[in-house]
Amino acid sequence: MIYLIGGPPKCGKTTLAKYLLKEKGIPWVSTDTLQNIVKAYTKEKDFVKLFPSSVQRCDTNDEKFSKFPSDEIINAYRVQARTIWDAIYMFVVSEITDENDFVIEGYHIEPEFIAKLNNEYKDKIQSIFLIKKDEVKFVENIKESSTLNDWIVENTKESETYNKIAKMISEYSEIFEKEAQKYNLDIINMDDDFDRKIKTMFNKIDKII
Protein backbone atom coordinates (compact mmCIF):
# COMPACT_ATOMS: atom_id res chain seq x y z
CA MET A 1 0.00 0.00 0.00
CA ILE A 2 1.16 3.52 -0.80
CA TYR A 3 0.30 6.12 1.83
CA LEU A 4 0.16 9.73 0.65
CA ILE A 5 0.09 12.58 3.17
CA GLY A 6 -0.65 16.07 1.91
CA GLY A 7 -1.35 19.51 3.33
CA PRO A 8 0.34 22.87 3.91
CA PRO A 9 3.77 23.16 5.56
CA LYS A 10 4.03 22.63 9.34
CA CYS A 11 0.80 20.67 9.76
CA GLY A 12 2.26 17.32 10.88
CA LYS A 13 2.94 15.46 7.64
CA THR A 14 6.55 14.60 8.42
CA THR A 15 5.70 13.73 12.02
CA LEU A 16 3.13 11.18 10.84
CA ALA A 17 5.53 9.76 8.25
CA LYS A 18 8.27 9.34 10.86
CA TYR A 19 5.79 7.73 13.25
CA LEU A 20 4.89 5.16 10.60
CA LEU A 21 8.59 4.47 9.98
CA LYS A 22 9.29 4.01 13.69
CA GLU A 23 6.23 1.92 14.54
CA LYS A 24 5.76 -0.08 11.35
CA GLY A 25 9.03 0.21 9.48
CA ILE A 26 7.35 1.70 6.42
CA PRO A 27 9.93 3.80 4.52
CA TRP A 28 9.04 7.33 3.54
CA VAL A 29 10.16 10.08 1.22
CA SER A 30 9.46 13.79 1.26
CA THR A 31 8.21 15.33 -1.97
CA ASP A 32 10.83 18.04 -1.33
CA THR A 33 13.40 15.40 -2.26
CA LEU A 34 11.58 14.63 -5.50
CA GLN A 35 11.34 18.36 -6.21
CA ASN A 36 15.11 18.74 -5.87
CA ILE A 37 15.63 15.94 -8.37
CA VAL A 38 13.23 17.53 -10.85
CA LYS A 39 14.97 20.89 -10.36
CA ALA A 40 18.30 19.36 -11.27
CA TYR A 41 16.92 18.38 -14.68
CA THR A 42 14.98 21.57 -15.38
CA LYS A 43 16.23 23.89 -18.11
CA GLU A 44 17.42 27.22 -16.79
CA LYS A 45 14.98 29.15 -19.00
CA ASP A 46 12.04 27.30 -17.37
CA PHE A 47 13.24 27.49 -13.79
CA VAL A 48 11.45 30.66 -12.67
CA LYS A 49 8.19 29.59 -14.32
CA LEU A 50 8.19 26.10 -12.81
CA PHE A 51 9.71 26.95 -9.42
CA PRO A 52 8.46 30.46 -8.58
CA SER A 53 9.44 30.19 -4.91
CA SER A 54 13.02 30.72 -6.11
CA VAL A 55 11.99 34.27 -7.05
CA GLN A 56 10.62 34.74 -3.54
CA ARG A 57 13.73 33.46 -1.82
CA CYS A 58 15.02 35.83 0.88
CA ASP A 59 17.59 35.67 3.66
CA THR A 60 14.88 35.69 6.34
CA ASN A 61 11.16 35.03 6.68
CA ASP A 62 10.81 38.58 7.95
CA GLU A 63 11.98 39.88 4.60
CA LYS A 64 10.00 37.36 2.53
CA PHE A 65 6.67 37.86 4.30
CA SER A 66 7.05 41.62 4.19
CA LYS A 67 7.77 41.55 0.49
CA PHE A 68 5.21 38.97 -0.67
CA PRO A 69 1.53 38.63 0.37
CA SER A 70 0.29 35.23 1.49
CA ASP A 71 -1.70 34.55 -1.70
CA GLU A 72 1.43 34.94 -3.83
CA ILE A 73 3.39 32.61 -1.57
CA ILE A 74 0.61 30.02 -1.68
CA ASN A 75 0.37 30.30 -5.47
CA ALA A 76 4.11 29.66 -5.75
CA TYR A 77 3.75 26.52 -3.64
CA ARG A 78 0.91 25.31 -5.82
CA VAL A 79 2.74 25.91 -9.08
CA GLN A 80 5.71 23.92 -7.77
CA ALA A 81 3.38 21.16 -6.62
CA ARG A 82 2.04 20.67 -10.13
CA THR A 83 5.54 20.85 -11.56
CA ILE A 84 6.49 17.59 -9.88
CA TRP A 85 3.21 15.69 -10.08
CA ASP A 86 4.60 13.49 -12.87
CA ALA A 87 7.60 12.62 -10.70
CA ILE A 88 5.39 11.69 -7.75
CA TYR A 89 3.16 9.65 -10.06
CA MET A 90 6.12 7.69 -11.41
CA PHE A 91 7.40 7.05 -7.90
CA VAL A 92 3.98 5.79 -6.80
CA VAL A 93 3.59 3.51 -9.80
CA SER A 94 7.10 2.09 -9.36
CA GLU A 95 6.45 1.19 -5.71
CA ILE A 96 3.04 -0.27 -6.54
CA THR A 97 4.57 -2.37 -9.31
CA ASP A 98 7.20 -3.70 -6.87
CA GLU A 99 4.44 -4.32 -4.30
CA ASN A 100 6.14 -2.17 -1.68
CA ASP A 101 4.61 -0.28 1.21
CA PHE A 102 5.75 3.35 1.10
CA VAL A 103 4.85 6.71 2.60
CA ILE A 104 5.10 9.86 0.49
CA GLU A 105 4.48 13.20 2.18
CA GLY A 106 4.57 16.84 1.21
CA TYR A 107 2.59 19.92 0.25
CA HIS A 108 2.96 18.88 -3.40
CA ILE A 109 0.33 16.17 -2.82
CA GLU A 110 -2.98 17.91 -3.48
CA PRO A 111 -6.54 16.52 -3.60
CA GLU A 112 -6.76 16.83 -7.39
CA PHE A 113 -3.61 14.70 -7.73
CA ILE A 114 -5.05 12.03 -5.42
CA ALA A 115 -8.32 12.05 -7.35
CA LYS A 116 -6.41 11.24 -10.54
CA LEU A 117 -4.46 8.46 -8.82
CA ASN A 118 -7.69 7.01 -7.47
CA ASN A 119 -8.95 6.57 -11.02
CA GLU A 120 -6.17 4.06 -11.65
CA TYR A 121 -4.97 2.75 -8.29
CA LYS A 122 -7.78 3.24 -5.79
CA ASP A 123 -7.15 -0.09 -4.05
CA LYS A 124 -3.40 0.50 -3.89
CA ILE A 125 -3.27 3.88 -2.18
CA GLN A 126 -4.44 5.57 1.00
CA SER A 127 -4.41 9.34 1.44
CA ILE A 128 -4.88 11.86 4.22
CA PHE A 129 -4.64 15.65 4.32
CA LEU A 130 -3.54 17.51 7.44
CA ILE A 131 -4.40 21.18 7.98
CA LYS A 132 -4.20 23.91 10.62
CA LYS A 133 -6.56 26.89 10.62
CA ASP A 134 -6.20 28.44 14.09
CA GLU A 135 -3.63 31.21 13.61
CA VAL A 136 -3.23 31.98 17.31
CA LYS A 137 -2.55 28.37 18.26
CA PHE A 138 -0.20 27.97 15.32
CA VAL A 139 1.98 30.85 16.54
CA GLU A 140 1.94 29.57 20.12
CA ASN A 141 2.97 26.06 19.08
CA ILE A 142 5.57 26.96 16.47
CA LYS A 143 7.53 29.09 18.93
CA GLU A 144 7.90 25.98 21.10
CA SER A 145 9.00 23.81 18.19
CA SER A 146 11.86 21.38 18.77
CA THR A 147 12.00 20.31 15.11
CA LEU A 148 15.55 20.10 13.80
CA ASN A 149 16.33 22.87 11.29
CA ASP A 150 12.84 24.36 11.63
CA TRP A 151 12.62 26.83 8.74
CA ILE A 152 10.26 29.11 10.64
CA VAL A 153 12.05 29.34 13.98
CA GLU A 154 15.55 29.57 12.50
CA ASN A 155 14.69 32.32 10.02
CA THR A 156 12.18 34.46 11.89
CA LYS A 157 13.01 37.27 14.31
CA GLU A 158 9.97 39.55 14.29
CA SER A 159 6.76 38.55 16.11
CA GLU A 160 4.60 40.00 13.35
CA THR A 161 6.19 37.62 10.85
CA TYR A 162 4.96 34.64 12.86
CA ASN A 163 1.44 36.04 12.48
CA LYS A 164 1.90 36.43 8.72
CA ILE A 165 3.16 32.85 8.40
CA ALA A 166 0.19 31.60 10.44
CA LYS A 167 -2.18 33.54 8.18
CA MET A 168 -0.61 31.95 5.10
CA ILE A 169 -0.88 28.44 6.58
CA SER A 170 -4.51 29.04 7.53
CA GLU A 171 -5.45 30.31 4.07
CA TYR A 172 -3.57 27.45 2.43
CA SER A 173 -5.39 25.01 4.72
CA GLU A 174 -8.74 26.37 3.59
CA ILE A 175 -7.79 25.60 -0.01
CA PHE A 176 -6.83 22.04 0.89
CA GLU A 177 -10.01 21.62 2.92
CA LYS A 178 -12.28 22.85 0.13
CA GLU A 179 -10.64 20.65 -2.50
CA ALA A 180 -10.51 17.57 -0.27
CA GLN A 181 -14.23 17.93 0.33
CA LYS A 182 -14.79 18.34 -3.40
CA TYR A 183 -13.14 14.96 -4.07
CA ASN A 184 -14.52 13.31 -0.90
CA LEU A 185 -11.06 12.74 0.58
CA ASP A 186 -10.05 12.42 4.22
CA ILE A 187 -8.83 15.60 5.91
CA ILE A 188 -7.95 16.23 9.56
CA ASN A 189 -7.62 19.54 11.38
CA MET A 190 -4.50 19.36 13.57
CA ASP A 191 -5.08 22.53 15.61
CA ASP A 192 -5.94 20.53 18.77
CA ASP A 193 -4.83 17.22 20.30
CA PHE A 194 -1.97 16.87 17.82
CA ASP A 195 -0.35 13.78 19.40
CA ARG A 196 -3.67 11.99 19.85
CA LYS A 197 -4.64 12.60 16.24
CA ILE A 198 -1.28 11.32 14.99
CA LYS A 199 -1.86 8.08 16.92
CA THR A 200 -5.48 7.87 15.73
CA MET A 201 -4.34 8.11 12.11
CA PHE A 202 -1.68 5.48 12.79
CA ASN A 203 -4.27 3.11 14.25
CA LYS A 204 -6.46 3.61 11.18
CA ILE A 205 -3.55 2.81 8.89
CA ASP A 206 -2.52 -0.11 11.09
CA LYS A 207 -5.84 -1.84 10.32
CA ILE A 208 -5.11 -1.61 6.60
CA ILE A 209 -1.60 -3.09 6.72
Domains in the chain, please, with CATH? Answer: 2-208 (3.40.50.300)
Least confident piece of the model among 18-27, 58-67, 160-169: 18-27
Average pLDDT, the chain: 90
| DSSP structural state of residue 9 | T
188-204: b (≥16 Cβ within 10 Å) or e: bbbbeebeebbeebeee
In the structure, what pLDDT confidence band is assigned to residue 208 with cuts at 50, 70 and 90?
very low
Query: Does the structure show a pLDDT above 60 at 206?
Result: no
In the structure, what pLDDT confidence band is assigned to residue 146 with cuts at 50, 70 and 90?
low
Average pLDDT over residues 59-68: 95
pLDDT at 147 (0 to 100): 63
Average pLDDT over residues 173-179: 97
DSSP-assigned letters across all residues of 126-164: EEEEEE---HHHHHHHHTT---TT-TTTTT---HHHHHH
Average pLDDT over residues 55-72: 94
Determine what percent of the chain is predicted with pLDDT higher than 70. 93
Determine what percent of the chain is predicted with pLDDT higher than 90. 74
pLDDT digit string, tens, across residues 29-58? 999 999 999 999 999 899 999 999 888 999
In the structure, what pLDDT confidence band is assigned to residue 209 with cuts at 50, 70 and 90?
very low
106 vs 139: CA distance, rounded Å: 21
Largest CA distance in the chain: 48
